[in-house]
Structure 1
Amino acid sequence: MKYHLIDSQLFIKNRKNFASQMKSNSLAVFNSNDIYPIGADSTMPFEQHRDIFYLSGVDQEESVLLLFPDCPNPDLREVLFVTETNDHIAVWEGEKLTKEAAFKTSGITTVYWLQDLEKILFEMTTYCDTFYINTNEHYRASVETETRENRFTKWLLAKYPAHAVAKSNPILQRLRAVKDPIELDLMQQACNITEKGFRRVLDFVKPGVWEYEIEAELIHEFIRNRSKGFAYTPIIASGNNANVLHYVENNQQCKEGDLILFDIAAEYANYKSDLSRTIPVSGRFTDRQKAVYNAVNHVKKEATNMLLPGTIWKEYHKEVGNVMTSELLKLGLLDKADVQSEDPKWPAYKKYFMHGTSHNIGLDTHDYGLLHEPMKANMVFTVEPGIYIPKEGFGIRLEDDVVVQEKGTPFNLMGNIPIEADEIEELMNR
């Protein structure tokens, strides 16, 4: 891994919090992700399943975590299985976790090689009544591939059909949504790396550069600062490309007078950041571009101040919509008749701002969080309003990652990243 070793106290605490919400006499199972094939002998880069990482810190394929807090054998209350390493694997694939390294990473004292899984699991099943299986119930999830977790669950329930079944996901949705101080530090590091990348491109952008050249500048800066790379597929959208919300081709030349909409960010230690900025290719906004930019920035500031404990996500978005409507009226993009005749299910402002304002962020870019429940301190949300005007050839989105505070204004993890229009111009023209 490129990142520094994480304090195992984070994972010890996460397991304790999860175990405290399990039913009595129950056993929870968590699997690593597969390494997914591309074709021939090619594979995609390994990405760890966020839940086993959250509970153990293990960032390696073919790992299994078993949690059984009520087990009468105290040695089997937390059990981690990792693939046995050897000299051949070390030569061909690189060093894997030893049992000692697995303990240092996770804080779990009972570590077995994966080949012992079925034997140890059988002993544990003789003591327990309920299996906690780990299903993906994120509100955006659309999974067609059968995962390693799915296959293991199918095998487990077929082999032990007399056990009751419960779901880990509702527990994890609540736990992962509220961040530990160690997690906030890791997210801050991801944001700091993102800042370095953004400042680099402010010095690089000029008329005639290509979107993919900017992408290359960003990935250079991210990796040299211990990130694996982009937290998600980067959007570098010049001119009218910005009006395609998920434009990812990044293959066009940036022209004088155009704007570039960036939706780019680094990860660090599997924790994500999520940044949007919009800058002028020529280093100066036109008056119209700046007016729209400042309107988006105003909405972002107002929306940020609404992220308080007790806020309901759906109601929050309605309030942000009201602020955006006011700004669009000032810009002449809407008139009073548009607002008066609007469909409540699709308000008039949606013509120019069609996506949501905020989502949870953490180990996933769209992280776990039960959106029907009130916001809590130490939840982290993006704030990302935008105005998109295809007829005028540009779109603007601005986005930061902010932490809900127990009292007072949310803390902006991206507070050091330039955002004011005048500052952007000054930095691009120094």
Structure 2
Amino acid sequence: MKYEQIPNSLFIKNRKKFTAQMRPKSIAVFNSNDIYPISADSTMPFEQHRDIFYLSGADQEETILLLFPDAMDKKHREILFVRETNAHIAIWEGAKLTKEQATEVSGIETIYWLSDFDKVFFDLMTEAETIYFNTNEHYRQAVETQTREDRFIMDCKKKFPAHTVAKSNPILQKIRGVKEPEEIAMMLTACSITEKGFRRLLGFVRPGVWEYEIEAELLHEFIRNRSKGFAYSPIIASGNNANVLHYLENNQQCQSGDLILMDVAAEYANYSSDLTRTIPVNGKFTKRQKEVYNAVLRVKNEATKMLIPGTIWAEYHKECGKLMTSELLGLGLLDKADVQNEDPNWPAYKKYFMHGTSHHIGLNTHDYGELKTPMEANMVFTVEPGIYIPAEKMGVRLEDDVVIQEKGEPINLMATIPIEVEEIEGLMQAH
């Protein structure tokens, strides 16, 4: 791993929060992600399943976490199963976790080799009445691939048909949505790495540069600061490309007079940051670009103030829509008749701002977290309004990551990343 080792106290706390909500005589099992093949002998880079990472800190393939708070033998109340290493694996793939290292990383005393799992699991299931399965129920999920977790669930149902089944996901949605101080610190590190990349760009971007060259500059800066790279697929959209919300080609030349919308951010220790900035290719906003940009910035600033304990996510988005409607009227993009005659299910502002304003962020860019219950302190949300005007070949989006506070306005983890028109122009023109 490129990142500094995380104190295992975080994972010990996380497991306590999870097991506190388990039913009596129940076992919960969490599997690592697969390593996915491309073709021939090629594979995609390994990405650990965020749930087993959240609960154990183990960032290695073929790992299983078992939690059984009511196990008769105390040493079996928490078990981490890891892949047994040997000299051959060490030469070809590099060192894997030893049992001692697995304990150091996770804070779990009982470590077994993965080959012991079936025997140990069968023995413990004779004591248990309920098995918690870890299914993916995120509101944006659209998984078509069978996962290691899916195969485990199918196998378990065949071998233990008499056990009651429960779901891990509702517990994880609740506890993962509220961050510990250590998690916020890692997200701040990710934001700081992102800032270094963005500031580097302000001295690099000029007419004639290609979108992929900007991507390369960011990747260089992220990796040299101990990040694996982008927290999500980077969007570097110049001119009219900004009106494609998930533009990923990044293959066009940036022209003088155009804006570049960049939705780009670093990860650190599997924690995401999520930044969007929109800058002028030639270092100077036109009058119209500045008007649209400042309208988006005002919506972002006002929306941020609403992220306080007790806020309901769906109601918050309605209020953000009202803010945006007012700005679009001011820009002449909507008129009063558009608003008066709007479809309540697709308000008039949606023509120019068609996505949501905020989502949870953490170990996933679109993170776990409850959305139907009131917001709580230490939840972390993005704030990302935008205005998209294909007729003017312009799209502006601005985004920061903020931590809800017990009292007062949230803390902006990206407060030091340039966003005001004058600062961006000044930094771009200084180079």
- 1:345 aligns with 345
**Unpaired stretches in structure 1, ≥5 consecutive residues:** none
User: How do 1:185-334 residues align onto structure 2 when only pairs under 5 Å count?
Assistant: 185-334=185-334
Letter aligned with residue 180 of structure 1: E
Q: Secondary structure at the match of 1:240?
A: helix
Task: Please state how far the C-alpha of 1:156 moved relative to its aligned partner.
Answer: 1.1
Task: Please state how far the C-alpha of 1:427 moved relative to its aligned partner.
Answer: 0.5
Task: Please state how far the C-alpha of 1:369 moved relative to its aligned partner.
Answer: 1.3
- 2:39 aligns with 39
Letter aligned with residue 94 of structure 2: G
Q: Secondary structure at the match of 2:361?
A: coil
User: How do 1:362-373 residues align onto structure 2 when only pairs under 5 Å count?
Assistant: 362-373=362-373
Deviations 1:180-213 (A, max 9, x none): 0000000000000000000001100000000000
Deviations 1:100-146 (A, max 9, x none): 00000000000000000011111111111000010000001111100
CA distance in 2, matches of 1:117, 1:340: 64
CA distance in 2, matches of 1:51, 1:156: 19
Count, aligned residues: 430
User: How do 1:28-107 residues align onto structure 2 when only pairs under 5 Å count?
Assistant: 28-107=28-107
Task: Please state how far the C-alpha of 1:157 moved relative to its aligned partner.
Answer: 1.4
Q: Could you tell me the percent identity over the aligned residues?
A: 73
Task: Please state how far the C-alpha of 1:360 moved relative to its aligned partner.
Answer: 0.3
- TM-score, scaled relative to structure 1: 1.00
Letter aligned with residue 102 of structure 2: A
CA distance in 1, matches of 2:71, 2:112: 17
Deviations 1:265-311 (A, max 9, x none): 00000000000000000000000000000000000000000000000
- 1:396 aligns with 396
Q: Secondary structure at the match of 1:204?
A: coil
- Alignment of 1:173 with 2:173, yes or no, is yes
Task: Please state how far the C-alpha of 1:80 moved relative to its aligned partner.
Answer: 0.4
- 1:387 aligns with 387
Deviations 1:19-64 (A, max 9, x none): 0000001000000000000000000000000000000000000000
Task: Please state how far the C-alpha of 1:333 moved relative to its aligned partner.
Answer: 0.6
Task: Please state how far the C-alpha of 1:89 moved relative to its aligned partner.
Answer: 0.6
User: How do 1:91-130 residues align onto structure 2 when only pairs under 5 Å count?
Assistant: 91-130=91-130
Q: Secondary structure at the match of 2:263?
A: strand
- 2:160 aligns with 160
Letter aligned with residue 299 of structure 2: V
CA distance in 1, matches of 2:109, 2:55: 14
Deviations 1:404-427 (A, max 9, x none): 000001000001100001110000
CA RMSD of aligned residues (A): 0.5
CA distance in 1, matches of 2:153, 2:77: 20
Q: Secondary structure at the match of 1:65?
A: strand
- 2:20 aligns with 20
Deviations 1:359-397 (A, max 9, x none): 000000100112111100000000000000011111000
- 2:146 aligns with 146
Task: Please state how far the C-alpha of 1:72 moved relative to its aligned partner.
Answer: 1.0
CA distance in 2, matches of 1:51, 1:118: 21
Task: Please state how far the C-alpha of 1:162 moved relative to its aligned partner.
Answer: 1.0
Q: Secondary structure at the match of 2:203?
A: helix
CA distance in 2, matches of 1:50, 1:327: 39
- 1:10 aligns with 10
Q: Secondary structure at the match of 1:426?
A: helix
Deviations 1:298-333 (A, max 9, x none): 000000000000000000000000010000111111
- 2:359 aligns with 359
CA distance in 1, matches of 2:258, 2:197: 21
Letter aligned with residue 245 of structure 2: L
CA distance in 1, matches of 2:206, 2:140: 37
CA distance in 1, matches of 2:404, 2:52: 25
CA distance in 2, matches of 1:55, 1:429: 47
Q: Secondary structure at the match of 2:139?
A: coil
Letter aligned with residue 58 of structure 2: V
CA distance in 2, matches of 1:156, 1:97: 26
Q: Secondary structure at the match of 2:338?
A: helix
CA distance in 1, matches of 2:274, 2:260: 17
CA distance in 1, matches of 2:367, 2:192: 20
**Unpaired stretches in structure 2, ≥5 consecutive residues:** none
